[in-house]
Amino acid sequence: MLVLRVALLLLFQAEAWKWMAKIKAPSLRRMRQGSKFGDKKLVVITGTSSGLGKATTKALLRAKEYHVIGAVRDLEKMQVVAELEGFDMDRFTPMEVDLANFESVKAFTENLDKFRGGRPIDRLVCNAAVYQPTLEYPKWTVDGHEQQLQINYLSHFLLTSKIMPMMTDSSDARVVMIGSVTGNDNTVGGGGVYPIADLKELDGLELGCKKPIAMMDGYNFNGAKMYKDTKLALMMTSNMLHERFHRSTGIAFSSIYPGCIAETPLFREKRPWFRKYFPIFMKYITGGFVGEEEAGTRLFQVLHDPKCTKSGVYWSWNGGPREGRGIEAMEKGGQIVGAGGAGGGWESIFENDQSDKVLNKDLVQKLWENTNEVTGAQ
Ligand code: NDP
Ligand code: PMR
């Protein structure tokens, strides 16, 4: 038994070293000198052209301490959105990435490495996603994976493996995975609404999850389940990164459930009646609704609040929507403060429980090995 444990530990360390070997350590002082970013922290967020990513960028730009790199698939759309939202383009840089294509992810990280000019990346947010619940048959990417799987999960895994070595020189580095209640089955929203996220024994991923195998569990394709499975996988990955790399790199890894942002274009493939009544249902029946702007302040908190340097956490917030909890409410006398009141604002953040599936160490290990294999991250 002891021999087996030692062998497993050595194997674990050897794999971690493959990621760590890419981590170089240039001098921080040298990097801060003469940087085009001044003293701003560098934040990379995928999917800043819409919904949560857009709202979080707005909050970050208002805080004036950050330079945001928006990793987007459509630069023209991003340009229009940035103009409409009044983004300060001195502190916002859009960069192209198509998460449905591994080559594009690699090209993005190479461009990012050049762009940062030796400065550490301080924050990485794996936010972009698509939700395709009505498809009868899977849609495939150029790499031969089901689209939601690659966009939401596999490419973010690859992206994180490439960007982490650029983060180790930051004194306050944070990686945030956008999870969801629907990937965490210990609540009504996650465990009570069919289909339920479940990776089973990961038989599909073990076989490479390539056309015609869509699902990580290897069972028949189900679009809604696929989305939820990707959220579960991201939350498990956050835990795995915490276990393997937090102590050695100082990077804080967390996942979040931002609330049900029922009015974003994420639901574009749902029927019109659903899009009309879903926000009402979430507001008045479940109480889980949150506006785009407030969701943005929540994610902003995880990137900005000193208490969110804690690693290995699944952050969530108490309380439904209340007035005065938008970005304006965060700014009082030029200072960003809690939006105030019991059940509202920054005070309402808490470390949420993670389901047994998210915490299943054996499965997390298998997920880690298979995803490294499928994405070629190692
Ligand atoms: P949106 O659809 O508004 O935003 C998704 C973003 O992902 C868009 O910027 C989109 O780009 C981008 N994106 C999609 N495909 C690709 C791709 N191939 N390459 C690069 N970027 C891509 O959704 P939300 O803001 O609602 O969702 C944001 C996150 O929050 C997601 O991870 C989602 O799972 C999570 N979440 C959402 C909840 C909700 O209720 N809405 C609840 C819980 C979690 P484009 O603008 O070009 O379409
Ligand atoms: Mg769900 C009681 C709590 C609760 C919460 C917090 C959510 C969140 N949902 C809850 C309950 C219910 N939902 C109930 C009782 C039903 C049955 C009527 C229900 C249904 C439902 C549907 C059909 N809910 C949905 C859908 C979607 O298509 C959304 C989805 O699963 O997208 C993947 C969704 C959601 N519910 C949520 C949240 C946050 C979503 C958005 C999904 C996400 O991004 O994770």
Give the other-Cβ count within 10 Å of 166's Cβ.
Answer: 24
pLDDT confidence of residue 239: 97
Output the CA 124–ligand 2 centroid distance in Å. Answer: 26
Ligand 2 within 6 A of 131 CB?
A: yes
Distance 270 CA to ligand 1 centre (A): 14
CB 160 within 8 A of CB 126: yes
Architecture of domain 44-375: 3-Layer(aba) Sandwich (3.40)
Q: Block means of pLDDT (10 residues each) for the chain, length 378 residues?
A: 55 59 50 74 98 98 96 98 97 98 98 97 98 97 98 98 98 98 92 96 98 98 98 98 97 97 95 95 93 95 96 88 46 38 62 96 97 95
Pairing of strands 331-332, 335-336: antiparallel
Q: Is 133 in the pocket of ligand 2 (CB under 6 A)?
A: yes
CA–CA separation, 305 vs 32, rounded Å?
Answer: 23
CB of residue 222 inside a 6 A radius of ligand 2: no
User: What's residue 1's pLDDT?
Assistant: 53
Question: What is residue 321's predicted lDDT score, i.e. its pLDDT?
Answer: 47
If one counts every other C-beta atom within 10 angstroms of the C-beta of residue 335, the result is 7
Tens digits of residue pLDDT in 234-291:
999 999 999 999 999 999 999 999 999 999 999 999 999 999 999 999 999 999 999 9
Measured in angstroms, how far is the CA atom of residue 259 from the centroid of ligand 1?
14
CA 189 to centroid of ligand 2, rounded, Å: 5
For residue 286, give the nearest of 357, 192, 198, 196 by alpha carbon. 192
pLDDT of 333: 34
Q: Closest Cα to residue 303, out of 115, 19, 48?
A: 48
Cβ atoms of residues 49 and 74 within 8 Å: yes
**Cα-to-centroid distance, 178 and ligand 2 (Å):** 16
Q: What is the pLDDT of residues 49-101, one digit of tens each?
A: 999 999 999 999 999 999 999 999 999 999 999 999 999 999 999 999 999 99
Type of residue found at 97 = V
Ligand 1 pocket check for 343: Cβ under 6 Å: no
Give the pLDDT score at 320. Answer: 52
Task: Using alpha carbons, select from 274, 236, 272 the residue that is nearest to residue 365.
Answer: 236
List the residue whose alpha carbon is closest to atom 17 of ligand 2: 193
pLDDT at site 229: 98
Q: How far apart are the first and last CA of the chain?
A: 29
Handedness of CA 263, 269, 270, 273 (dihedral sign): positive
Determine phi and psi for 317, rounding to 5 degrees: -130, 145
pLDDT at 232: 98
How confident is the model at residue 318, as a pLDDT? Answer: 85
The finding on whether 301 has its CB within 6 A of some atom of ligand 1 is no
From 126, 151, 181, give the residue whose CB has the most ligand 2 atoms within 8 Å, as the site to mutate: 181
Cβ(14)–Cβ(374) below 8 Å: no
The residue nearest atom 34 of ligand 2, judged by CA position, is 182
- Using DSSP's 3-state secondary structure scheme, residue 253 falls into strand
Q: Which atom of ligand 1 is nearest to the CA of 131?
A: 34
- Model confidence, pTM: 0.91
* CA-closest candidate to residue 31, choices 39, 20, 23: 39
Q: Report the Cα 337 to chain-centroid distance in Å.
A: 24
